[in-house]
Amino acid sequence: MDALANNGIKLERHYVYKYCSPTRSAFMSGRLPVHVNQNNACNDALSASGIDLRMTILPQKFKLANWTTAMTGKWHCGARSVANLPTSRGFDYHLGFLKGGEDHWQQNRCAGGPDASTVDLWGSDTPAWGANGTYSAHLYASAAVAVVHNFSRALAAGQTQGLFLYLPWHDTHTPLEAPDEYFYPPHAGYTDFGPRVTYNAMARVLDEGMGNVTGAIKAQGLWDATLIVFSADNGGWLLKGGNGGSSNYPLRGGKVTDFEGGVRAVSFIGGGYLPDAVRGTSHSGYISIADWYATFCFLVGVEPGDAVANATVPTTDSLNVWPSLLIPNSRTTPRTRILLSYCPDPEVNKCTANNSALIVGAYKIICGAQEGMGYHQFPGFPNSTATPTATIDCAAACCLFNIIDDPTEREDLRVSKPAIFANMTAELAAEAKTVFQTNYPEPGTDECLSYAQGKSYYRGFIGPLCFAKSPMPPSPPPKPFALKRGGDCLVGSGASAVAQPCTSTAADRVWTVPVYGPGMAIVGTAGPRYLKVDEQPRGNVTTKAGFCTRGDVHLDPDAGQGKTAQGFVLDEATGQIRSTYCVGFGCLAVPGNGSFAHTSHCTAGSGGWRQDFGSSAPHGWTDGLGDTT
C-alpha cells in the first residue's frame, strides 16, 4: 500500500463519517452521510436503515455504461429484505458479509444480541454455505482475484466495457485477530502492547491482500487502465486507553468522534490510469467520500444525477473532483463545506444527542461530548504505559477550530473569534434542517421472520428476514449427500443417487458453475456427458475428455458443500462454454425435463446445487447443504 500511495496521490483532506455504515452509504449513494444514513444500526437485520431503496447507487450507474460490477467484503448498507442486498442494487456478484463486524475466521457474529454466533457470509443470492472458515482478508482477496480473471476473459470477448470492483476489507476492524505468521518479530521500535501488535499484523495481511489483487490486475494486462481509490471508512478505533490498537497521531480523536482523527481518513488514489504528472504528489483540497459518485460517473460517461430522487428523498450532494486531482499538489476542489454529522433524533438516528460538526472554509465547529474520546495521541501510541488526554471539552459549549492552521485541533477559537463562531453556529443550525435518515422498508415486506426463525431457515447463517409474502417456514434440517463414482450421469436423489450411462441428447447435459475457491470445472458438452467424483474425503469433479477443466470442485460427501470459482457457464443455445463474471456461489445441475429455472440460478451465481434427474417431474433438488425436496 505504501508503494501505491507513494506512486499515486495522497489525499490529505478526504472526509468520511465517524463510523462504518454512514460512510459506505454515502459512497454508494452520492449523498453526504447526513442525507442518507447516520444509523449504524443496520447491524440489526430488521432495520430499515442503510441506503434508501429509492436512491440509485454506484453499481447501478456503472451498469448504465455496460460495466461489470462486483463486490467482495463488508456491505453494511441494509439487509432487511432481498431488495436491500448488493445483487439487488446493481452488483453482478457479491461475496461478503451483510452487517458491521464479525469473527475474522469463522465469519460468525461475535457480538451480543439475538444473532450472536450466527454466520454472516453471503454469496450473491444465498448464504455462502461452506465458504466460511477462511481468514477474512484471504477470503475476499481470493474472490477479488477470481473476479479480475473472469473480467479479463469477458473483456476480451467483448462482453463488458469495464469493471467496478468494490473491495471493502474487514481488516483492520475489530475483533483484533490475525494469522500467527503475520505477527512481526520484536525489532527496534517494537511495541509489546497486545492490541497494537495484533493490529499491526492485521494491517500486514491487508497489505498482502492489496498486493495480490493489484498483482492479478497487472498479470491480466489491465494495470494501465486501472484507477484505485483507497480510503478508511472512519478513523482508527481508540477505545479508552488505546485498547482499540490503532493510532490517529498527530490528529485528535478517532472513530465515533467528529475530530479530525475520526473523520479525516487515510486515503490515496493510484493505478496506471493516473497521469505521470500527478504521481508522487499530495492533494489537500476538501473531498467528501460522497464525491466519488459524481467523479466515477464522469469518468465512465454517465449522468451523475439521480432521477428517482424526489421531495421525500434528497438529491445527490456529490461533486466531480477529477479535474482538481489532475493538478499536481492541488489545494482546492469544488467542495468548500462539509456537514460531517448532526444528531436531530438519538432514537431514529442511533446517535448521541448534541454531537455535530460542520466545516466551512478553514473553520470547523464541533459540538457535544464526542463520546468522551477526543484524545490527543502521541508518537508510539498506543502502548501499555501511557494514556492519551483530551485537553478541550466541547460538551458544555461548541468548539471552533481553524483546521488549516491548527489541524490537531488544540486551540479553541470560540472566545477569540466570536463573529466567526456565531456565523458557524447559525450555519450549523441551517444545515440541520436538511438532515435525512433512511427508514424505508421495501413496500409490502411487512411480515418478518424472528431472529430464531431466520437462523433456522438459513441454517445458521444471517439473511434477509422480511418478505413480501407471509414468512417462509424454516427449511428442513440438512441431510447427508454423497455422489457415487462411475458412470456418466446421476439418477436418484441425495445419498441414494447412483451413476448410470448418459445419452448424447441435449436433455442430459451435465455441467457445473462456480461455487467458491481457487479452481473450477466444467462438465462436457460434446459426446458422452461425464461426472466423476474421486473417492477422497473431499472428492474432485473433473471432465471425461479433459474439456475445460481448470481446477477442482471440492465436495464434502457429508454435507454436499462445494467450493470452486473462475466463472464459466454452458450456453445451452449454442452448446458452447462461455465466461461469466458471476463468480461466487453457483450450482451443479443435471437438467432432465427442463422444469426448473437453472439459468437464473446458475448464471446469477446462486448457492448450492440443483439437480433434475430426468424423471417426469423434478426431484432430487439439493441445495448447498445437501437437503433434498
Residues 493/611, Cβ–Cβ less than 8 Å: yes
Whether pTM exceeds 0.85: no
* Angstrom distance (rounded) from CA 624 to CA 493: 14
- Beta strand 14-15 with 287-288 is parallel
Residue 513 half-sphere exposure toward CB, CA atoms < 13 A? 33
Look-up of cell digits 447501478: 60
The SS3 assignment for 176 reads: coil
Q: What is the predicted pLDDT for the residue at 110? A: 62
Candidate list 14, 35, 76, 104, residue with the active-site label: 76
- Residue 346 is predicted with a pLDDT of 82
Per-residue burial over 137-168, b if 16 or more Cβ lie within 10 Å, else e, is bebbbbbbbbbbbbbbbbbeeeebebbbbbbb
Q: Which of 14, 20, 367, 587 is the catalytic position?
A: 20
Distance CA 383, CA 270 (A): 32
Domains and CATH numbers, the chain: 2-432 (3.40.720.10), 489-602 (no CATH)
What's residue 616's pLDDT?
28
20 flagged as catalytic: yes
Of 130, 27, 16, the C-alpha closest to 588 is 130
SS3 (DSSP) at 292: helix
User: 96 — phi, psi (to 5°)?
Assistant: 170, -170
In the block, which residue shows the cell 437462523?
455
Q: What angle do CA 343, 346, 350 make, to 5 degrees?
A: 95
DSSP letter string over 198-246?
Answer: HHHHHHHHHHHHHHHHHHHHHHTT-GGG--EEEE-SSPPP--GGGTT--
- pLDDT mean for each 10 residues of the chain (629 residues): 97 96 96 93 80 95 96 94 93 93 85 73 88 92 95 94 96 93 88 90 96 96 98 90 85 95 97 97 98 98 83 91 97 97 82 91 96 88 77 88 97 97 96 92 87 86 81 43 30 37 36 26 30 27 27 30 31 35 28 26 29 28 27
pLDDT of residue 626: 29
CA of 97: how far to CAs of 60, 208, 537, in Å? 20, 21, 29
| Rounded distance between C-alpha atoms, residue 542 and residue 521, angstroms | 6
* Residue 560 backbone phi and psi in degrees, to 5: 70, 20
Residue type, 617: A
pLDDT at position 527, please? 30
Cα separation, 285 vs 165, whole angstroms: 26
Q: What are phi and psi of 86, to 5 degrees?
A: -55, -40
**Roughly how many angstroms between the first and final C-alpha of the chain, as a whole number?**
49
